[in-house]
Structure 1
Amino acid sequence: MSDDSELIDLPDADLRYFPRWVDAGLAEQWLSQLSAQTPWSQPQIKLYGRSIAVPRLVAWYGDPDARYRYSGLTHEPLAWTPLLADIRQRVQQQVGKHLNGVLLNYYRDGQDAMGWHSDDERELGRQPLVVSLNLGATRRFDFRRKGTSRIEHSIALEHGSLLVMSGLTQHHWQHQIARTRQVRAPRLNLTFRQIIDEPSL
């Protein structure tokens, strides 16, 4: 694991990017195993009264009590596999925090995407910690201020990279993975999270 990182300087945000966090060979091994072994699903969400399939494949893993609700869906955690448990341990060592769940997103090509959103669900606590491990094709990751439409900053998330979003980032910023015709290869993204059961939130 590499400690070489870059601070992404956005106001009211705490963002750190590790461009070569894991070496290419191990990253390729993880990508191959997880792509083949994960029981992928493609949930339906309600959008403007219509039910549509999300434009990517997903899977949620975590500790037994780490249920995660977003986009109107409640995700019951799959049990950690040995590989995911190993990756989680490495990520926890990097950030110095316990992470009890991981959302896997599989973008089959550039037409799979993630719309504008913030990871600010109640169960992520007051200052959500989201640690994003990127495997496969490089995709552009955009940021915009909440309440605005202009992209303020973009970063190319590379194979084997790690992006740590913490502090007040999710309160003030939204992010997206836009569709692109330029990418034909798949990308696998693992976003590790802290699910916090705090009734007072």
Structure 2
Amino acid sequence: MDLFSFEKQEFHLPDAQLIYIPNVFSKIEADTYFNAIKTNTNWQHDNITVFGKTYKQPRLTALYGENNLSYSYSNITMHPRPFSKDLLKIKVKIEGISQHSFNTVLLNLYRNGNDSNGWHADNEKVLGENPIIASLSLGEARPFHFKHRTLKTERHKLLLEHGSLLIMKGAMQHHWLHQIAKTKKLIGERINLTFRTLVDY
């Protein structure tokens, strides 16, 4: 199984590559994984510090991995739990599609439209020089906004659907920012699983 077995959208952006693949999992599979992960995950609700202000992170999170490498961002340090059977099954499929091995997954639970993730890049040193990040979306579709740091005309939006996979590659984390914005619409829950490869440095 490889990337080209699926219908996909590939964006050749300045300084980056972005690939979007809908229906990596069928609706039945995606529904099953959503319910199992929501129920069985040890969700945590951390304080986050941004621009010197500390408040509750507007989403729930969890970290799972193959090793004891922690992951830190915005004054939060997360320590991984061992992969569950469901997470391992998902990881194997995504590794086959992306042709890349991952050792960690960061889970985010967006409970409603008030939950969000502000503009940021996944550029922590522990992710390596040009990280490949594969993000599986389950549940409510949410727009993924991304913009270039210096090219003001390069600003885009992509709807991440139930059961879809988004792969960020190349130098994207150096040159682009992305977010899941708040919305006043009455929407349901979304879980996304962001598979990463942490390096020991």
TM-score in terms of structure 2 length = 0.93
Q: How far 1:147 moved relative to its partner?
A: 4.8
2:157 matched residue in structure 1: 154
Identity across aligned pairs (percent)? 39
- Which one-letter code corresponds to 1:131 in the other structure? A
Aligned pair 1:15/2:18, yes or no?
A: yes
Q: How far 1:186 moved relative to its partner?
A: 0.3
2:82 matched residue in structure 1: 79
Classify the secondary structure of the residue corresponding to 2:13: coil
Tell me if structure 2 keeps the 8 A contact 1:138–1:157: yes
2:133 matched residue in structure 1: 130
Tell me if structure 2 keeps the 8 A contact 1:137–1:183: no
Aligned equivalent of 2:179, options 163, 176, 185: 176
1:44 matched residue in structure 2: 47
Of 126-135 and 142-151, deviating more is 142-151
Distance 1:164 1:72 in 2: 26
Aligned equivalent of 1:54, options 43, 52, 57: 57
Q: How far 1:47 moved relative to its partner?
A: 3.0
- Which one-letter code corresponds to 1:60 in the other structure? L
2:121 matched residue in structure 1: 118
Tell me if structure 2 keeps the 8 A contact 1:142–1:175: yes
Distance 2:48 2:154 in 1: 25
Runs of 4+ in 1 over 6 A off after TM superposition: 148-151
TM-score in terms of structure 1 length = 0.93
Q: How far 1:150 moved relative to its partner?
A: 7.0
Q: CA RMSD in A?
A: 1.6
Distance 1:105 1:76 in 2: 15
Distance 1:117 1:127 in 2: 15
- The CA deviation string for residues 119-177 of structure 1, in whole angstroms up to 9 with x for no partner, is 01001111111100000001000011125777711000000000000111111000000
- The CA deviation string for residues 79-127 of structure 1, in whole angstroms up to 9 with x for no partner, is 1111111111111111111100000000001110000000010011111
Distance 2:150 2:75 in 1: 21
Distance 1:45 1:39 in 2: 18
What number of residue pairs does the alignment pair up? 198
Aligned equivalent of 2:191, options 154, 164, 188: 188
1:34 matched residue in structure 2: 37
Distance 1:149 1:88, change over 3 A: same
Distance 1:150 1:7 in 2: 19
Distance 1:114 1:21, change over 3 A: same
- The CA deviation string for residues 7-26 of structure 1, in whole angstroms up to 9 with x for no partner, is 02321111110011111110
Q: For structure 2, list consecutive stretches of 5 or more residues without a partner in the other structure.
A: none
Distance 1:149 1:175 in 2: 14
